[in-house]
Chain A
């Protein structure tokens, strides 16, 4: 495939046959990927699958050992200041400790970009307005992560990298973060998100890619990943004091049949499709050759 289609220069991100070696191990082993402008793409995969390595090659932090890469039409290995000015990067490790206040940090960061957002507006957007005069160390974990995102978007990026942005968030903070990401999407920002949280990918992403052993094994909209859309439904109910389950491709007909058998309500009736987590766990559990 790498030989057949060249990378797409109009895509936000286009990767063909990416290889990255550490010692004699291929951390990324022939990965292909296309991300359209304006979409939110979630990269899923277990630890050590090559997610962060891939993303850091795209961001220009690591040199690749093989393959072709275009990010906003530019090879990251040649990316200069103008190229970096169009990217926003939220690293997994986050920004370091600083003696500067949130607003001062954002003002300094904004000064590196040609067309930055107003720092005060960015603080508003991430919900840190009341922390404008506070130093980083006084922020909670969730607030620090929102500051990282603020630093990532103050340069008005066209492409935003988010590497495990909500690790360590409580459910409330994650929901607030999701709405922040949606408002950025409405502003036209392309986003590449890596995450461990399948609900997060399902909630935010237009498309999901699953990476295992350094390769992208599937790309799909979240509802269709792993053949989830066509997967048989599982109908379960209780009968004669025993829990019964049945897999069926026609759950509606099956339930109608059940309903006819019982005088009133079917006891403990439930109809389920495989969750994103089910298909994901099946995908990463299977050996990929």
Chain B
């Protein structure tokens, strides 16, 4: 005999708002995550901007090129790394199990995570663009450039968020997730045209990089920050925006399928 009816439960929207508030406070109050996710790309931009300020030809500085890459790397950190490490930690310390025992709608948990990724991503992008514009005289996107910027960032962020959630299920705890994901992310940054021009990466490594979303995010964002003349330096001789959309969308689908198949609310039952 249950006295409570479905009607009197708080609405899913209300619980989503609560979760979003929880997730934002959890992120911004944790010094490690703020430094690691938010300030690391900023430091990279400041250092690379100061050291590698050479001319790529057509009067374009490497900093202008690096802007696209560091934003892509920032999005990767805010979504894939943040989700993989954060959720693995919450799973191993019992936070997820505790939530699964409450009437919180499961969807609200993921909505909270998405809001966290969105706010952190916007914060990173705004900070990076502001520093670029103020200190390094970066040409900001204009007109339809913003539109391309928005869809590349949104699609890339969605794919990496889903992948991060999926990867979290592979790790034993937050620390092991960090130990696995951080080096992989770093290697991907080196071979995906973040720190160096992608055209300088050996062809076989370009092929490896082309499997993963970071390369395509960086390439899509370069189309926004660089003049079309530089598209000739890309592997295909063009920005390939159609393929960028296709690969990132494919990773969204793969990530979603992996999440649905692998997500667990508690550590593996081993007793």
Contacts and interface: CB of A to CB of B under 8 A. Distances in A.
A85 B105 CA distance: 11
A259 to B, nearest CB: 55
B142 interface: no
B115 to A, nearest CB: 14
A95 B104 contact: no
Given A100-B22, A111-B14, A85 B9 contact: yes
Nearest to B265: A61
Contact of A81 (B105, B266, B271): B105
Contacts of B98: 89, 91, 95-96, 151
B271 A27 contact: yes
Interface in B172-210: none
Contacts of A72: 1-2
Given A61-B266, A82-B5, A95 B95 contact: yes
A52 B270 CA distance: 12
Contacts of B104: 112
A60 B100 CA distance: 9
A94 interface: yes
A81 B7 CA distance: 11
B2 A74 contact: yes
B15 A111 contact: yes
Contacts of B101: 59-61, 84, 87, 89, 91
Specify which of B6, B266, B271 lies most central, judged by the most chain A CB atoms within 10 Å of its CB: B271
B9 A98 contact: no
Interface residues of B, number: 35
B78 to A, nearest CB: 17
Contact of A100 (B26, B93, B266): B26
A96 B94 contact: yes
A108 B22 contact: yes
A113 interface: yes
A59 B22 CA distance: 25
Interface string B20-31: 011001100110
Given A93-B94, A97-B93, A86 B4 contact: yes
A74 B1 CA distance: 8
Interface string A83-126: 11111010101111111100010001101111100000000000
B229 interface: no
A10 B204 CA distance: 68
A175 interface: no
A214 interface: no
Interface in B1-52: 1-2, 4-6, 8-10, 14-15, 18-19, 21-22, 25-26, 29-30
A262 interface: no
B2 A83 contact: yes
B134 interface: no
B95 A155 contact: no
Nearest to A155: B102
A190 interface: no
A59 to B, nearest CB: 6
Given A82-B2, A99-B30, A108 B9 contact: no
B103 interface: yes
Contact of B103 (A52, A74, A82): A82
Contact of A112 (B15, B30, B94): B15
Contacts of B89: 96-97
A166 interface: no
Specify which of A27, A48, A96, A115 lies most central, judged by the most chain B CB atoms within 10 Å of its CB: A96
Contact of A82 (B9, B18, B30, B269): B9
Interface string B236-271: 000000000000000000000000000000100101
Interface string B100-141: 111111000000000000000000000000000000000000
30 contacts: A9-B1, A22-B269, A22-B271, A27-B271, A52-B271, A53-B271, A60-B101, A61-B97, A72-B1, A74-B2, A82-B5, A82-B6, A91-B101, A93-B94, A95-B94, A95-B95, A96-B89, A96-B93, A96-B95, A96-B96, A99-B26, A99-B30, A104-B25, A108-B19, A108-B22, A111-B15, A111-B18, A112-B10, A112-B104, A114-B9
Given A91-B101, A98-B95, 7 more contacts: A81-B6, A85-B4, A89-B101, A91-B94, A93-B94, A111-B10, A113-B9
Interface of A: 9-10, 22, 27, 48, 52-53, 59-62, 72-74, 80-87, 89, 91, 93-100, 104, 108-109, 111-115, 151, 155
Interface of B: 1-2, 4-6, 8-10, 14-15, 18-19, 21-22, 25-26, 29-30, 89-90, 93-98, 100-105, 266, 269, 271
